């Protein structure tokens, strides 16, 4: 019975199954035994370590990069698995294909080492395991090591070097006659389109195959259009030990472009005289031509196209870099929805899912190797870097989306001049040989390198040698002010072009941090507010869009990402993303949609901020007026609050601001606009807490308030609750606020603004503690009689001297001689709650009196109990 069924199925699907089965590919991600540490005999049953069971994609650093302790595990770890290899062909060849494992990978099959260790954490590779296999069960063991290695880049970077087999692992099985698998780059087909025009396209394909000396074999190339119609078929006889070149042309080709990413499909097969198929590989083919012009910009198929988009890391909150293909594809979808047409795949080659989507969705892409900040300045380091670049180019060769290969990022970050002559020699040589390698490997694309120091600085080393030059510039963030972005950007471009008039300029990074929990109506540089980030991007885009010499620009970054050593508003997170580390859209993301999208678009930029608060405009008043920014690509927009129109406003550079009166409780904000005859709408439901202007108000009696002392920002406490802290203010009669004191400031000019860069222990609410008033004299609340809970949030951050203070409430000492550092330790957030009764009309005065050094306060919360 079984046999019959199989026979029937075969008869029916014979042709399809035949095609699919020429090369067998399957993932082997599940149920690996894993051990973090050193193991002598990983495959012996005598090994006594405790194996846990994990699923690939996997990283062993998902937790330790986020905890309060400095550092994360960088060392050896093992994966092992017993498995039966499916028998699908006679005399089959079996390969393991790694999409990526960080950073040195050693493979053992049945106890024997197979192939060389793979060096480098971001390039794909394959190993032929055939000879090590036996019938039945086989033991596969994989050692992965992510410890620092002087011979491997990256040597340093603003991202974490997570260890693990963090991308899919595949088993590939072929017949003895097959296209090469286990070579540098694990790719055997190289598709070139040396000449493309509207009239015709030349296609030249190089195929690398393994065949016996005897016999006649052909490489058959079949090009299909997007509807699966055969367009061209070419059969080329192969020679033993030689690559096969097949050339053909396509008349009236349908061109690939960001607007219309038309893809052909090339099926490459090995066939014999009788037409028996031995191996088969599919690749996308995009027919396009492009050019860069330093003055006029980028052209694709002759059409001027401004390249606008972001950079991207392969990172997701709590997952390290072990993210699924679904996350990768979802990221690409969000980038497309944003309206972008350009992607800088930073700072290393990424999952194949990314380029698949770039090809399909119409992204122009650049791809790079992790030569970041510093060279691996020794001979082995140089060779490893070259090999990495070759692997990257060869593996990713057949992606029409790619227009340039980038050899490195901010390679002068660690100043070569400080690292000595020997370093400089290797460093300069590395640049030269990488730039040449790009040209040797691929004549159809541009070479590219990305810097951040003065153009002349790189020029002095003779390393501005690629076709295109990129600059990462954080004007309005790390350096200079927002107001001067235009001036500074123009003069930078000018200085770069003055040195090399023919080298097109890409703004390869720009941006600023925003913690989705921080909001401000008075945004300032480095306050991490969503509003400052919005303003910064708006300022940049004005200049970028106005300057044809900026041929392309990439926001740093598409998404927030984890950096173990970073201590910003959210410790361990670089929050320059347009979406958060869990992909929630920030206000600036909507700005880009409004600026870039061709289809009608409208959004309330701050709609993710649902719970808001404010002080009533007048005593006894029932509204607080607050600005609400709307973005869109229409001409004008009308805003309604709780059904009442506030009139229409014209968009200026895709945005406009309404001053909206908000009342206690629910507020429905609706916006309506028109574009190309279509009506677009957006809405936000804001839950508003109206604080009385006079805390003695009888119409809106005081209940509770939390103040982010020492900060001009709102803070949304979002760990387990949605609780809002108000910005601080100076005390005025009838209200609340501080008396005396100065904002705590970071000593460096880079972080010009409020607060400091400490990961505060014992709390998730770092921004409350990072911002403080130092030398504060008093905090006052003019509240009516009653019983109150008063909470004080305190922390002593990075202070060198001894500090102690007395804290008094209405003249009574509640905390004497408080030395935070001595009592609680460095950098720890401390909150204490006091029960207070107010029996007169004088409200609450909290006095801070220095016993030694200076007083300080980070936050205060007051709640009326009775």
| Beta carbon of residue 371, minimum distance to ligand GCB (angstroms, whole number) | 12
Burial classification of residue 87, based on how many CB atoms lie within 10 Å of its CB (0-12 exposed, 13-18 middle, 19 or more buried): exposed
Site string for Ca ion, 695-714 (x = CB under 5 A): -------------xxxx---
Q: Strand pairing of 76-84 and 137-145?
A: antiparallel
**C-beta of 741: minimal distance to Ca ion in Å?**
12
Q: Which of 331, 410, 515, 847 is the binder for ligand GCB (CB under 6 A)?
A: 410
Per CB under 5 A, contacts with Ca ion among 352-381 are none
By CB under 5 A, residue 755 contacts Ca ion = no
Measure the N-to-C terminal CA separation of the chain; round to a whole number of Å: 82
Least distance in angstroms from the C-beta of 473 to ligand GCB: 8
The yes or no reply on residue 711 touching ligand GCB (CB under 6 A) is no
- Per-residue binding string, ligand GCB, 493-512, x by CB under 6 A, is ----------------x---
Least CB distance from residue 513 to ligand GCB, whole Å?
8
Quick note: the x/- pattern for ligand GCB over 459-488, rule CB under 6 A, is: -------------x----------------
Comparing every residue's Cβ against ligand GCB, the nearest one is 158
- Minimum CB separation of residue 745 from ligand GCB in Å reads 20
509 binds, among Ca ion, ligand GCB, none (CB under 5 to 8 A by kind): ligand GCB
**374 vs 576, which CB is nearer to ligand GCB?**
576
Per CB under 6 A, does 331 bind ligand GCB? Answer: no
Q: Which of 146/409 has CB closer to ligand GCB? A: 409
- Complex with ligand GCB: residue 363 or 510, whichever CB lies closer: 510
Question: CB 577 → Ca ion: shortest distance, Å?
Answer: 24
Rounded least distance, CB 563 to ligand GCB, Å: 7
- Give me the residue whose beta carbon is nearest to Ca ion: 771
Our CB check for Ca ion shows the closer of 843 and 859 to be 859
Question: CB pairs under 8 A, 24+ apart, for 649-654?
Answer: 651/594, 653/538, 653/541, 653/542, 653/595, 654/591, 654/594, 654/595
Helix (H) or strand (E) holding 192: strand 189-196
Residue 131's Cβ-count burial label (10 Å; 0-12, 13-18, 19+) is exposed
Contact partner at residue 283 from ligand GCB, Ca ion, none, CB < 5 to 8 Å by partner kind:
none
Touching Ca ion, residues 49-108 (CB under 5 A): none
Maximum Cα interatomic distance, the chain, rounded to a whole number of Å: 106
Smaller CB separation from ligand GCB, 574 or 697: 574
- When CB distances are held under 5 to 8 angstroms depending on the partner's kind, the choice from ligand GCB, Ca ion, none that residue 368 binds is none
How many residues touch ligand GCB under the rule CB under 6 A: the total is 9
The Cα–Cα gap between 305 and 34 comes to 48
Q: Which two tokens stand for residue 372?
A: 């970041």
- Tell me if residue 498 falls in helix, strand or coil: helix
Site for ligand GCB in 118-177 (CB under 6 A): 158
- Helices and strands (H and E) in the chain: how many: 12, 56
| Residue 708 binding target from Ca ion, ligand GCB, none, CB below 5 to 8 Å by type | Ca ion
> What is the C-alpha to C-alpha distance for residues 526 and 512, in angstroms, rounded to an integer?
8
Residues in the chain: 866
x/- map, 731-760, ligand GCB, by CB under 6 A: ------------------------------
Q: CB-wise, 159 or 736, nearer to ligand GCB?
A: 159
Chain positions 571 to 590 lying near ligand GCB, rule: CB under 6 A, are 574, 576
Q: Where on the phi/psi map is residue 32: left (φ > 0), alpha (ψ -120 to 50), or beta? A: beta
> Where do we find the tokens 């929050």?
575
Q: With binding defined as CB under 5 A, does residue 768 bind Ca ion? A: yes
- The pattern of x and - marking residues 771 through 790 that bind Ca ion according to CB under 5 A reads x-------------------
Number of residues located near Ca ion, criterion CB under 5 A: 8
What gap in Å lies between CA 503 and CA 451, rounded to an integer?
Answer: 13
CB 487 within 8 A of CB 451: no
Asked if residue 452 binds ligand GCB (CB under 6 A), the reply is yes
Nearer to Ca ion, 339 or 710 (CB): 710
Distance CA 765, CA 767 (A): 6
> CA angle at residue 432 from 429 to 434, to 5 degrees?
105
Residues between 807 and 846 that touch ligand GCB (CB under 6 A):
none
194: enclosing H helix or E strand: strand 189-196
With contact defined as beta carbons under 8 Å apart, do 111 and 132 qualify? Answer: no
Residues 6+ apart with CB under 8 A from 814: 807, 808, 834
Question: Who's near 230: CB < 8 A, 6+ residues apart?
Answer: 222, 223, 224
Residues of span 548-567 touching ligand GCB by CB under 6 A? 556
Given the complex with ligand GCB, which of 766 and 796 has the nearer CB atom? 766
| The entry of Ca ion, ligand GCB, none that residue 766 binds, CB within 5 to 8 Å by partner kind | none
d(CA 815, CA 331): 51
Q: Would you tell me how many other CB atoms lie within 10 Å of the CB of residue 414?
A: 16
Q: How many C-beta atoms lie closer than 10 Å to residue 705's C-beta?
A: 22
Nearest approach, Cβ of 861 to Ca ion (angstroms)? 11
Residues near ligand GCB (CB under 6 A): 158, 409-410, 452, 472, 509, 556, 574, 576
Residues near Ca ion (CB under 5 A): 708-711, 768, 771, 858-859
């Amino acid at each position: 019975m079984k046999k019959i069924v199989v026979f029937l199925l075969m008869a029916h699907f014979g042709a399809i199954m035949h095609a699919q089965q020429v090369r067998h590919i399957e993932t082997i991600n599940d149920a690996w035994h894993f051990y973090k540490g050193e193991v002598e005999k990983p495959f012996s049953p005598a090994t006594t370590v405790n194996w846990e069971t994990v699923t690939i994609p996997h990283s062993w650093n998902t937790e330790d990069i986020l905890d309060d302790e400095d550092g994360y595990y960088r060392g050896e770890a093992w994966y092992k698995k017993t498995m039966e290899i499916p028998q699908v062909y006679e005399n089959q060849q079996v390969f393991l294909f790694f999409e990526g494992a960080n950073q040195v990978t050693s493979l053992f099959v049945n106890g024997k080492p197979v192939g060389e260790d793979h060096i480098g954490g971001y390039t794909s590779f394959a190993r032929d395991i055939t000879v090590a296999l036996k019938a039945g069960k086989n033991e596969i063991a994989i050692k992965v090591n992510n410890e620092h290695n002087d011979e491997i880049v990256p040597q340093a970077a603003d991202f974490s070097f997570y260890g693990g087999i963090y991308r899919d692992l595949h088993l590939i099985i072929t017949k003895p006659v097959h296209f090469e698998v286990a070579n540098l780059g694990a790719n055997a087909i190289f598709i070139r389109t040396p000449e493309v025009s509207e009239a015709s396209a030349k296609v030249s394909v190089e195929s690398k195959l393994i065949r016996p000396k005897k016999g006649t074999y052909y490489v058959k190339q079949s090009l299909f259009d997007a509807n699966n119609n055969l367009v061209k078929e070419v059969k080329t006889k192969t020679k033993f030990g030689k690559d096969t070149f097949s050339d053909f042309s396509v008349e009236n080709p349908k061109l690939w472009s960001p607007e219309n990413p038309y893809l052909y499909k090339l099926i490459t097969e090995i066939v014999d005289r009788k037409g028996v198929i031995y191996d088969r590989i599919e690749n996308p083919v995009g027919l396009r031509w492009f050019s860069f012009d330093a003055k006029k910009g980028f052209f694709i198929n002759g059409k001027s196209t401004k390249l606008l988009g972001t950079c991207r890391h392969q990172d997701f909150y709590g997952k390290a870099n072990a993210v699924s293909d679904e996350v990768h594809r979802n990221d690409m979808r969000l980038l497309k929805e944003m309206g972008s047409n350009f992607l800088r795949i930073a700072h290393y080659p990424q999952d194949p899912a990314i380029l698949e989507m770039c090809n399909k969705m119409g992204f122009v892409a650049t791809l790079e190797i992790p030569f970041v900040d510093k060279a691996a300045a020794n001979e082995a380091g140089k060779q490893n870097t070259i090999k990495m670049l070759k692997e990257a180019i060869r593996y990713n060769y057949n992606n029409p989306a790619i227009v340039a290969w980038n050899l490195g990022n901010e390679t002068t970050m660690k100043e070569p001049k400080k690292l000595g002559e020997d370093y400089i020699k290797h460093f300069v040589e590395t640049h030269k040989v990488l730039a040449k390698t790009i040209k040797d490997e691929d004549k159809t694309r541009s070479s590219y390198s990305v810097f951040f120091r003065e153009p002349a600085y790189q020029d002095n080393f003779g390393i501005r040698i690629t076709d295109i030059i990129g600059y990462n510039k954080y004007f309005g963030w790390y350096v200079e002010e927002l107001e001067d972005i235009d001036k500074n950007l123009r003069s930078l471009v000018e200085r770069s072009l003055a040195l090399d008039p023919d080298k097109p300029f890409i703004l390869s990074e720009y941006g600023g941090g925003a913690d989705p929990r921080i909001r401000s109506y008075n945004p300032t540089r480095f306050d991490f507010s969503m509003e400052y980030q919005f303003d910064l991007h708006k300022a940049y885009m004005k200049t970028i869009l106005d300057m044809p010499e900026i041929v392309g620009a990439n926001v740093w970054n598409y998404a927030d990402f984890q950096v173990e050593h970073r201590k910003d508003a959210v410790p361990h997170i670089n929050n320059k993303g347009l979406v958060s580390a869990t992909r929630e859209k920030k206000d600036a993301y909507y700005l880009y949609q409004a600026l870039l999208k061709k289809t009608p678009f409208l959004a309330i930029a701050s709609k993710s901020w649902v719970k808001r608060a404010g002080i009533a405009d007048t005593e006894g008043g029932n509204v607080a007026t607050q600005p609400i920014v709307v973005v869109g690509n229409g001409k004008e927009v009308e805003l309604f609050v709780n059904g009442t129109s506030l009139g229409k406003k014209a968009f200026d550079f895709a945005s406009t601001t309404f001053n909206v009166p908000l009342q206690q409780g629910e507020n429905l904000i609706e916006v309506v606009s028109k574009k190309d005859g279509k009506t677009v709408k957006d809405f936000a439901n804001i839950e508003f807490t109206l604080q009385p202007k006079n805390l003695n108000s009888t119409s809106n009696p005081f209940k509770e308030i939390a103040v982010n002392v020492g900060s001009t920002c709102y803070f949304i406490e979002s760990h387990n609750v949605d609780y809002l802290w108000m910005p601080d203010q100076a005390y005025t009669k009838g209200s609340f606020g501080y008396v005396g004191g100065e904002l705590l400031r970071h000593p460096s000019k880079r972080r010009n603004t409020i607060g400091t860069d400490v990961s505060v222990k014992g709390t998730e609410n770092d921004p409350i503690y990072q911002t403080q008033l130092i030398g504060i004299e008093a905090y006052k609340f003019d509240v009516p009689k009653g019983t109150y809970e008063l909470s004080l949030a305190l922390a002593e951050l990075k202070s060198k001297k001894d500090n102690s203070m007395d804290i008094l409430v209405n003249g009574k000492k509640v905390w004497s001689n408080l030395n935070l550092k001595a009592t609680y330790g460095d950098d720890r957030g401390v909150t204490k709650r006091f029960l207070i009764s107010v029996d007169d009309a004088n409200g609450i005065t909290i006095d801070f009196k220095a016993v030694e050094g200076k007083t300080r306060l980070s936050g205060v919360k007051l709640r009326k109990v009775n």
